[in-house]
Amino acid sequence: MKKIISLFLAVCTALPVFTQEKGKIDIPDLKGYVTLKCDFHMHTVFSDGSVWPVVRVDEAYRDGLDAISITDHLEYRPKKDDLATSHNRSYEIAQAAAKNRKIMLIRGAEITREMPPGHSNAIFLTNADELDKPDYMDAFRAAKAQNAFIFWNHPGWLAQQPDTTLWWPEHTRLHEQGMMHGIEVVNGEYYPEVHRWCLDKKLTMLGNTDVHAPMQTFAPGKHRTMTLVFARSATTEAIYEALMARRTVVYHDEFLIGEETYLKELFENALEWKTRKEGNVVTVTVTNNSDLTFRLKKTRSDARLIYFRNTSIVPFTIAPKSTRSFTVRLLDGIQGGDVNFIVENLLAEPNTGMKYTLKI
Amino acid sequence: MKKIISLFLAVCTALPVFTQEKGKIDIPDLKGYVTLKCDFHMHTVFSDGSVWPVVRVDEAYRDGLDAISITDHLEYRPKKDDLATSHNRSYEIAQAAAKNRKIMLIRGAEITREMPPGHSNAIFLTNADELDKPDYMDAFRAAKAQNAFIFWNHPGWLAQQPDTTLWWPEHTRLHEQGMMHGIEVVNGEYYPEVHRWCLDKKLTMLGNTDVHAPMQTFAPGKHRTMTLVFARSATTEAIYEALMARRTVVYHDEFLIGEETYLKELFENALEWKTRKEGNVVTVTVTNNSDLTFRLKKTRSDARLIYFRNTSIVPFTIAPKSTRSFTVRLLDGIQGGDVNFIVENLLAEPNTGMKYTLKI
Amino acid sequence: MKKIISLFLAVCTALPVFTQEKGKIDIPDLKGYVTLKCDFHMHTVFSDGSVWPVVRVDEAYRDGLDAISITDHLEYRPKKDDLATSHNRSYEIAQAAAKNRKIMLIRGAEITREMPPGHSNAIFLTNADELDKPDYMDAFRAAKAQNAFIFWNHPGWLAQQPDTTLWWPEHTRLHEQGMMHGIEVVNGEYYPEVHRWCLDKKLTMLGNTDVHAPMQTFAPGKHRTMTLVFARSATTEAIYEALMARRTVVYHDEFLIGEETYLKELFENALEWKTRKEGNVVTVTVTNNSDLTFRLKKTRSDARLIYFRNTSIVPFTIAPKSTRSFTVRLLDGIQGGDVNFIVENLLAEPNTGMKYTLKI
Amino acid sequence: MKKIISLFLAVCTALPVFTQEKGKIDIPDLKGYVTLKCDFHMHTVFSDGSVWPVVRVDEAYRDGLDAISITDHLEYRPKKDDLATSHNRSYEIAQAAAKNRKIMLIRGAEITREMPPGHSNAIFLTNADELDKPDYMDAFRAAKAQNAFIFWNHPGWLAQQPDTTLWWPEHTRLHEQGMMHGIEVVNGEYYPEVHRWCLDKKLTMLGNTDVHAPMQTFAPGKHRTMTLVFARSATTEAIYEALMARRTVVYHDEFLIGEETYLKELFENALEWKTRKEGNVVTVTVTNNSDLTFRLKKTRSDARLIYFRNTSIVPFTIAPKSTRSFTVRLLDGIQGGDVNFIVENLLAEPNTGMKYTLKI
């Protein structure tokens, strides 16, 4: 039998394999930081997912991610009669593939409880097995003891919060004891209440897929929900530091959700503006060098600047990798002024586009 | 802990799941038979595949298949330190999903040996564990004892047949002893030698995916390799009877590979022909009601019929769900005749398109 | 020379022509009316367009329209040194093609003046040449004398209204004298001011392409801007009656713009609703049988009905030809109530989505 | 009226125009020559086409062409009652747009006669009107007097050659008198007989669209039929010299048709080959830097080199901008040898792929 297997291993590299190319999503870096694309919430057969851990690495490679964390449930393991029981196995199995694909792999686990406190992910663990405790507080303490970065998952999940997206006293306790560093602002859908909490309580905003089945293939221009992490370098240590320092933006569908300072810098670094003045007409040309989309709508402005006249329903959209122009007419002899608008898909506040002023 | 899990199970149906619609591929039935789309070769985590068995059912549903067989390797199980050991587990696990999705699931296993005799699938098993024997002949005998349908896999695989696609004495022995009923004519690629063997030795032709990773998503109009089975009804018993009676055609890329009688009936049932005569010009209009493609090229014909003048390099292609016309000019006062052509993508002989005559 | 040409004509039908299929856009009819897809503003080489009139008919056929009007400029004819001068020629030339393609062709012309009154189309003319007058009022009078349907084109055009979309005294005069029946609410872009005028002054709303170059090919699911006309039958007479009776809706990008009564009936006729109650949860399933898109967002409602929790930024979108579900939770023992929402892309008022209540 | 028009002209540049980007097709240059993409056969409203001449320039720009010739029929002008009569008008009108778009525009005309001699294009004319003569020989003589490059159009057109693609005595005469320099090998379809004639009689091969309607929009990776001209520089003079010197290849669908010397250099300049030897297995990796496709099939070779085992029906296809590998096994201790194949879509002879040998 040995001989059979060794032969098999020897020839396996000759098998025709579907080759996937590395995906690429152009999002600008920020000053002093690289922008890393991360997904910190996903499952495998080691909990209630349906793929072997290496698949998560292959998918991340194809989707253009830099880092992932596999976060199998500690308490919910419907396949456990068939599978080995260490909570570290999915991480261990994925390691070789991650190294080969150059995907940063972060050890994680999901503490899976009724509400409150619901489900939470602990990542940057050293040993997931130590979190397998009957009392949830013991699980959180074990995570904290490993210096984990801990975040609350999908607080708006209908199954656990059927009527309102509530913050419970238990979350106050976890937060105060340094056992909750962030929350998912997006998991399948956007939770505006969570956006508010993160701004007010200084919590890190995360957006993840929580994928269980094989990850779908995205059409060109589409992408999975991810957390953009602004890190000092492309290392797991730098991701940890950035998460603790709350330097993240959530990228979901066409939306970027985060603190204004990061949204603004992403907006500015993605775009190049040129203006040309002829008489009282200024032609503004903007080039988008990124894969992001920006949808602009006029806000209150000096009545002597005429621009974006009809953007109240249909925004002025700057598509990825494109160049567009618009004109600003200057009345009453003024020589310039403020072009005010919101970028309606950059959410600096819950459900609210980011305000911006272009001086011309 | 019980409570946690039961709560979880209770709410799981509320989880947002990526809903896949049932795929649909229009291929006509034959007289007295339904055309079933089948894939009899695939792997899961229970051998060297990377998905949980239910994923194979979901993929089959999405891809429009009627029946599948999961055929995990008996002798090659690189994940066996993590996973349960019965060779029946992948079948058992997939059963509920198959029932729910209305996919016929056939119990199978792959007898995985060096060449000769190489790899073979045994399907319609009752207990896969009984095939786990040191001597390959014992494995085949156990399969035969369960009345399995047995076929040789990928005889042209470079890893096992690096120079030529050879038929070995061992295959003669298996065939003569009723332990080889069919062969894969397509597995990743088409093997013309196997096509010849099947025709000469009266073996069933099969085409399967042998998929290990998550099945790719196909672009519109594309499909996975499959075996078309012409069965008396849509039941597993009828599939068994049809396989034993060699009523199959392999559907691979734009090619249909099989015995002429089935290819011809598929061709005729997929197309509707109309002719209109004006003077000495007959306009032939053909409507393709199927998702199959047909590529026609003129062959030797009566010089007094002028048609398909320039099809030697570029065929006259009848695309799926489309209507096309061409003209036939009748010279020297003839009133009709034979429009001879080959359908170059319907292979009734190795590497050879099927001949056809349209009388007008 | 005669012989050459007659030969040529004889064989022309044998020329390989790019065959375009008739386009199809599914939009429901209204009670007592058929919904006709119309574009009443387009140009050819007979003014400043760049295609021969038959091209406009072919494009309309491909795009699934029922009726068009070619509206070449009366006063602006940059190609007139090369071309025949009757303003009726583009109509005359297109007639045979329109008959062949079963596209209703309406004789039109564009009265092309400085602002005020800017550009206007007169359609349902009997002789366009009679409108070629130095004084614009004479042109309008000539159109009126032919019982034309007359509408003001692109009132928000920056070239003529650089600062604001203004209604001038001249328009009041035209309106009062029965020489302005409608206005373009959309021409390239949506003009909310015009939407207001149409509602207040009881003018017909139109949306047209004003296409000059060859019409672009639309990607699947996309369409040209058009005027939906709710007519008693599919005849030009019925279109005239419907336009005069203001039974139109403008279909632009994903927007439908018009009077609430028509928008509401389109919405209701496009969708099928089903509800299923289990305990205090009502599952609402909606099937969209049309090619229209509907984007729903929750509005103020009884706090005891929990639904559409997170639709303030991302709407609940019902895509064309699709089925979707959502749940409504009933609190405090209520048995039903009003599910209130706006359909944000159905504009019954300027820049404002249509309100709707679903009773459950 | 003047005022109206001048106002109109002043604002026209502000009109929202559908902006088309310049198309790009990567085809390598040859040593000493630039590869220019040309279409020398197209119609406008000035004969039986349906677009204004500038449209042909815009389409060429969008499709990535370098040079075009508008070749309106001299004798067939169905719109002549509406349009100016000089045969030079379409050229004159298109000139400004061509200069603006940087498309080389070559003055041409189509001499449109019954068979024999059928239709011919004369390009590089100085005055097309001089070709408008009752006797076709006078038309050809006038073209020759202007040093035109003259080619026979679509010799296989069913309307003029219903039974066989024939060479008539009249063509011998034109050829011998220096009034036929080339022939269309492709016009809608490929004519293998013409390919033969061009090789035997040393005539220039051309492939053109003969487009009459607006040019269709091509899906990514698709292109219009064109003549590749290998010119000393990107000038009209260099194109003339190259056409007279027969340095062309026809690019039609996935086919390249021409003399072997040019096909071979295109093939070699488009591809980069790398080999890596391990034991008796050579892995050959080929990178295609062009937008061309190459389909390889094994031909007779030393039996001790094992490669391309199953390419008789399905070729080894090197897709545009892609990298692929295959292995060559060396038997009996040989250290290298000839990898022989045909590139089946590079036609160096009628209906026959180009032979090629890769030495390893």
Chain A contact present for C314, CB below 8 A: yes
Q: Is C3 helix (H, G, I), strand (E, B) or coil?
A: helix
With contact defined as beta carbons under 8 Å apart, do B183 and B207 qualify?
A: no
User: What part of A 169-208 touches B (C-beta under 8 Å)?
Assistant: 188-189
Name which of C252, C255, C280, C309 to mutate to probe chain A: the one with the most chain A Cβ atoms within 10 A of its Cβ. Answer: C309
CA angle C3, C5, C7 (to 5 degrees): 70
Chain A contact present for C347, CB below 8 A: yes
- Residue found under tokens 């069919």: B182
What distance in Å separates the CA atoms of residue D121 and residue D111, rounded to the nearest whole number? 6
- C66-80 tens-digit pLDDT: 999 999 999 999 999
What distance in Å separates the CA atoms of residue C167 and residue C197, rounded to the nearest whole number? 9
| Residue C349 identity (one-letter amino acid) | E
**C76 neighbourhood in chain D, CB within 8 Å:** 4-5, 8
Determine the residue of chain C that is closest to D161 in CA distance: C11
Strands C338-349 and C255-258: parallel
D171: distance to nearest CA of chain B, Å?
A: 22
Residue contact A5–B75, C-beta within 8 A: yes
Chain D contact present for C24, CB below 8 A: no
Residue from the list B50, B75, B159 with its beta carbon closest to the beta carbon of A52: B50
Neighbours of A162 (CB within 10 A): 17
Residue from the list A14, A51, A75 with its beta carbon closest to the beta carbon of B4: A75
Chain D contact present for B19, CB below 8 A: no
| pLDDT value for B258 | 98
What distance in Å separates the CA atoms of residue B163 and residue D299, rounded to the nearest whole number? 16
Say whether the peptide bond before residue B162 is cis (omega within 30 degrees of 0): no
What are the φ and ψ backbone dihedral angles of D343, each rounded to 5 degrees?
-100, 100
| Residue D175 identity (one-letter amino acid) | H
Map out the domains of chain B with their CATH numbers.
2-258 (3.20.20.140), 270-359 (2.60.40.3090)
Residue from the list B18, B79, B89 with its beta carbon closest to the beta carbon of A216: B18
Residue contact B191–D310, C-beta within 8 A: yes
- C202-225 tens-digit pLDDT: 999 999 999 999 999 999 899 999
Q: Is the pLDDT at C13 greater than 80, yes or no?
A: no
| pLDDT value for A3 | 41
- A98-149 tens-digit pLDDT: 999 999 999 999 999 999 999 999 999 999 999 999 999 999 999 999 999 9
> SS3 helix, strand, coil % of chain B, rounded to 5?
25, 35, 45
Residue from the list B84, B213, B217 with its beta carbon closest to the beta carbon of A82: B84
Chain B contact present for D307, CB below 8 A: no
What distance in Å separates the CA atoms of residue A289 and residue C137, rounded to the nearest whole number? 51
Question: From first to last of its 360 residues, what are the pLDDT tens digits of chain B?
Answer: 334 443 343 333 323 333 468 999 999 999 999 999 999 999 999 999 999 999 999 999 999 999 999 999 999 999 999 997 899 999 999 999 999 999 999 999 999 999 999 999 999 999 999 999 999 999 999 999 999 999 999 999 999 999 899 999 999 999 999 999 999 999 999 999 999 999 999 999 999 999 999 999 999 899 999 999 999 999 999 999 999 999 999 999 999 999 999 999 999 999 999 999 999 999 999 999 999 999 999 999 999 999 998 888 889 999 999 999 999 999 999 999 999 999 999 999 999 999 999 999
**A132 neighbourhood in chain B, CB within 8 Å:** none
Chain A contact present for C334, CB below 8 A: no
What distance in Å separates the CA atoms of residue C316 and residue A192, rounded to the nearest whole number? 15
Closest CA to A313 of C349, D118, D275, C248: C349
With contact defined as beta carbons under 8 Å apart, do B213 and A18 qualify?
A: yes
Determine the residue of chain C that is closest to A344 in CA distance: C313
What distance in Å separates the CA atoms of residue B103 and residue B84, rounded to the nearest whole number? 25
Say whether the peptide bond before residue D117 is cis (omega within 30 degrees of 0): yes
- Burial of D325 from C-beta contacts in 10 A (0-12 / 13-18 / 19+): exposed
With contact defined as beta carbons under 8 Å apart, do D117 and D168 qualify?
A: yes
Q: In what order do the strands lie in the sheet with B271-278?
A: B271-278, B281-288, B322-330, B305-306
What are the φ and ψ backbone dihedral angles of B245, each rounded to 5 degrees?
-90, 5
Residue contact C192–A255, C-beta within 8 A: no
| pLDDT value for C311 | 83
Residue from the list B310, B329, B351 with its beta carbon closest to the beta carbon of D156: B310
What distance in Å separates the CA atoms of residue A319 and residue A293, rounded to the nearest whole number? 5
Q: Is A201 helix (H, G, I), strand (E, B) or coil?
A: helix
Chain C contact present for A303, CB below 8 A: no
Split at pLDDT 50, 70, 90, the class of C85 is confident
**C327 neighbourhood in chain A, CB within 8 Å:** 158
Determine the residue of chain C that is closest to A326 in CA distance: C158
With contact defined as beta carbons under 8 Å apart, do C330 and C282 qualify?
A: yes
What size, in residues, is chain A?
360
| pLDDT value for B248 | 98
Token pair of C320 as six digits? 């064309």
With contact defined as beta carbons under 8 Å apart, do B271 and B293 qualify?
A: no
How high is the mean pLDDT of chain C? 93
Split at pLDDT 50, 70, 90, the class of C145 is very high
Residue contact C156–A310, C-beta within 8 A: yes
With contact defined as beta carbons under 8 Å apart, do A43 and A68 qualify?
A: no
What distance in Å separates the CA atoms of residue A101 and residue C198, rounded to the nearest whole number? 61
For residue C39, the cross-strand partners are C68
Token pair of C231 as six digits? 């007519």
Q: Is D123 helix (H, G, I), strand (E, B) or coil?
A: strand
- Burial of A212 from C-beta contacts in 10 A (0-12 / 13-18 / 19+): middle
Section D4-26 average pLDDT: 52
Closest CA to A320 of A289, A344, A279: A289
**C164 neighbourhood in chain A, CB within 8 Å:** 306
Residue contact C4–D113, C-beta within 8 A: yes
Strands D338-349 and D352-359: antiparallel
CA atoms within 13 A on the CB side of A72: 31
Q: Is the pLDDT at D124 greater than 90, yes or no?
A: yes
Neighbours of chain C (3+ CB pairs under 8 A): A, D
Section D127-148 average pLDDT: 98
Taking CA atoms, D180 is separated from D68, D110, D137, D183, in Å, by 19, 13, 12, 8
Provide CB contacts within 8 A for D10, sequence distance 6+. none
Closest CA to C249 of C348, C341, C178, C148: C348
Token pair of B69 as six digits? 């067989």
- Residue found under tokens 């397998």: A132
Taking CA atoms, D208 is separated from B4, D158, D185, D267, in Å, by 72, 17, 9, 22
What distance in Å separates the CA atoms of residue C95 and residue D306, rounded to the nearest whole number? 66
Q: Which residues of chain A have pLDDT under 50?
A: 1-19
For helices D89-101 and D53-62, give the axis angle rounded to 10 degrees.
30
- Buried b or exposed e, range C124-147, using 16+ CB within 10 angstroms: bbeebebbbeeebeebbbbbbebe
- Burial of B281 from C-beta contacts in 10 A (0-12 / 13-18 / 19+): middle
Q: Is the pLDDT at D14 greater than 60, yes or no?
A: no
| pLDDT value for D85 | 81
With contact defined as beta carbons under 8 Å apart, do C339 and C301 qualify?
A: yes
Residue contact C309–A165, C-beta within 8 A: yes
CB pairs under 8 A between A and B: 94
Name which of A6, A8, A252 to mutate to probe chain B: the one with the most chain B Cβ atoms within 10 A of its Cβ. Answer: A8
